[in-house]
């Protein structure tokens, strides 16, 4: 069994109005040292042992559903889950 941590973020070339709004609020609250905010998604999947390659499966999931690859980038980490 594997745990997959997926990070989805807007591409650098895409404007992030949500991030801009959060940065503006932080500045109004007195946190002027914050220079940039980018909002993204974090997902955790637990994938059971099977015949499919986990890397290929995660890439397929990201391309088909979890990320809009036109405007978003993704990266992921795979961890082995130790049963107790």
Could you give the CA distance from residue 40 to residue 13 in angstroms, rounded to a whole number?
14
CATH code at 55? Answer: 3.30.1280.10
Domain span including residue 66: 2-80
**pTM of the shown model:** 0.88
What's the DSSP call for residue 62?
I
The answer to whether residues 76 and 4 touch, using CB atoms and an 8 Å cutoff, is: yes
- What is the number of other CB atoms lying within 10 angstroms of the CB of residue 48? 7
Number of domains in the chain: 1
Instruction: Write the pLDDT tens digit of every residue in 56-81.
Output: 999 999 999 999 999 999 999 999 99
Mean pLDDT of the chain: 96
- What is the number of other CB atoms lying within 10 angstroms of the CB of residue 58? 21
Structure token digits, residue 22 = 């959060």
């Amino acid at each position: 069994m594997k745990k997959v941590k997926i990070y989805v973020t807007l591409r650098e070339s895409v404007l992030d109005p949500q991030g801009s709004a959060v940065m503006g609020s932080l500045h109004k609250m007195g946190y002027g040292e914050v220079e940039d905010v980018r909002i993204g998604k974090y997902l955790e999947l637990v994938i059971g042992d099977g015949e499919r390659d986990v890397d290929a499966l995660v890439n397929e999931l990201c391309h088909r559903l979890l990320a809009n690859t036109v405007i978003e980038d993704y990266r992921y980490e795979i961890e082995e889950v130790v049963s107790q």
